[in-house]
Amino acid sequence: MDCPKCGQWNPDDKRVCWRCDTELPKPVEKKKKKQTLFLGMPMWSWIMLILMAAILLVGQCVAPMLLNPGG
């Protein structure tokens, strides 16, 4: 964080500037994005699971037609 008075860089855990002893503003904490859960699993894992199941199902239905086109 830079001092608002002299512009000197200071670590975030310091309360006063190293150079001019001016009180530094408190650092703003970044809010973490809350992950959406469904039945205990993140939403992206459910999407991947459904996508893989759909690929397997389509593969099971299409593979016999491709291997035996006449009948």
pTM greater than 0.75 (yes/no): no
- For strand 37-38 and strand 41-42, is the pairing parallel, antiparallel, or unpaired? antiparallel
Cα dist from 44 to 20, 32, 41, whole Å:
49, 17, 8
Percent over 90 (pLDDT), the chain: 32
DSSP H stretches of helix in 19-70? 43-67
Mean pLDDT of the chain: 86
Q: Tell me the three state secondary structure of residue 58.
A: helix
Q: Give residue-wise pLDDT tens across range 23-52.
A: 998 877 777 777 778 888 899 999 999 999
Residue whose entry in the numeric block shows the structure tokens 């408190």: 26
Domain extents for the chain? 1-27, 39-67
Residue 62 main-chain phi, psi, to 5 deg: -85, -35
